[in-house]
Structure formats: structure tokens, C-alpha cells
Structure 1
Amino acid sequence: MATLLRGEVPVILQAAGTRQYQGAYRPLGVPLTEVRRGPFDGKADIVVRPDADGGLPAHMTFGNGAVVYEYDGRDKRGRAVYRYSPRLSPSHRSVMDGVAEVYAEHTLTNGDQ
């Protein structure tokens, strides 16, 4: 865990919840678990600093804005929970198209088991 400076709040990044993935792009044959999964899920070595009114930023972005995580409250340990937001992540569609190709190749190679 990162060393906290005064006022900083530890963060945990998690997979998308219902609010974040509803309406997100999902190619045919790709399981919902793949749509929910973000590239940084489980990362807990980052912190966020509250703004002047004590609120936390609504979003965190990574990869020059290609991946977006949305604030979703705090967990039992007091960490700020940010969930992957496929609807807001510009890279989501291209990643899902790649995932769909892998699933299609797997189906062709192994049959429809």
C-alpha cells in the first residue's frame, strides 16, 4: 500500500458493477464477465486526494484517457472504490472486438463444447 499524505484516501480499482456496464458494448458470444473486467482491476497501490469540499473525483482515467474508472463509494476498510466503466472508456469497443475474435477462434478450434 502507498504511504498516505494528509488528506489522501487509498483507492481500490474493481470490475464494473451493474451501473457501469449497463448499455456497454458487448459483442455476440462474449460473456458478461469479460465486459465487466477492467485492465487495472485489483490495483490498490494508488491514492486520491479529496477536493476542497471533501468529495472525491467522479472518475479516474488511465492510458491517456482510454480507460475510465468511476467512483462507487467506499469499502469496509475506508478505501475509495472505483469501478471500471466500459461505457465511458474509449478503448472498450476495440478491446471487446479483440476478445470476440479470441472466443470465435476458440469455438472454431475446439468445436461448440
Structure 2
Amino acid sequence: MATLLRGEVPVILQPAGTAQFQGAYCPAGVPFKEVRRGPFDGKADIVVRPDADGGVPRHMTLGGGAVVYEYDGRDTKGRAVYRYAPRLSPSHQGVMDGVAEVYAEYARTKEGQ
């Protein structure tokens, strides 16, 4: 866990919840559970600094702005929970297209057995 400075709030990154993944891009042949997964899920060595009214930023971008996580409340440990937001992440469609290729290749090899 990161060392906290005064006022900082620890963060945990989680997979998308229903609010984040509804309507997100999912190619044919890919289980919708894959849409929920973010590349930084489980990361807990991040902190945010609340603004003047005590609220934390609504969104957090990672990977040079390619991946977006959305604030979703606090957990029982007081950490700010950010969930992967596929609809807001510019890299999401490209990643899902890659996942679709892997699923298609697996299906082809399975048929050839």
C-alpha cells in the first residue's frame, strides 16, 4: 500500500459493475464477462486527493488516458473504489477485438481436434 499524505484516500481498482458495462462494445463470440475486466483491476497502490468539498475525482485515467475507471463509492476499509469503465475507455474496442481473435482461434483449434 502506498504511504498516505494528509488528506489522501487509498484507492482500489475493480472490474466494471452493471452501471459501467451496460451498452459497452462486445464482439460476437466473446462472453460478456470479458467486457467487465479492466487491465488494472486489483491494483491498490494508488491514492487520490479529495477536492475542497471532500469528494474524490469522478474518473481516473491510466495508460496514458487509454483506460478509464469510474468512482463507485467506498469499501469497508475506507478505500475509494474505482470500477473499469469500458464505454469511456478509448482502448476498449481494440482490446475486445483482440480478445475476439483469441476466442475465434481457440474455437478453430477445438474444431480441428
TM tier relative to shorter chain:
over 0.9
2:107 and 2:6 mapped to 1: Cα distance? 52
The aligned residue for residue 14 of structure 2 is 14
The alpha carbon displacement at 1:64 in A equals 1.5
Provide Cα deviations, 1:23-55, integer angstroms capped at 9, x if missing partner.
Answer: 000001111221000000000001000001111
2:110 and 2:8 mapped to 1: Cα distance? 50
The alpha carbon displacement at 1:111 in A equals 2.2
1:81 and 1:111 mapped to 2: Cα distance? 42
Give the secondary structure class of the aligned counterpart of 2:47. strand
Normalised TM-score (structure 2): 0.97
Unaligned residue ranges in structure 2 (runs of 5+): none
CA RMSD of aligned residues (A): 1.0
**Identity across the alignment (%):** 80
Give the secondary structure class of the aligned counterpart of 1:29. coil
AA aligned opposite 1:40? F
The aligned residue for residue 47 of structure 1 is 47
Give the secondary structure class of the aligned counterpart of 1:103. helix
The aligned residue for residue 5 of structure 2 is 5
Number of residue pairs the alignment of both structures matches: 112
Normalised TM-score (structure 1): 0.97
The aligned residue for residue 91 of structure 2 is 91
Unaligned residue ranges in structure 1 (runs of 5+): none
Provide Cα deviations, 1:59-107, integer angstroms capped at 9, x if missing partner.
Answer: 0001111000000000000000000000000000000000000000000
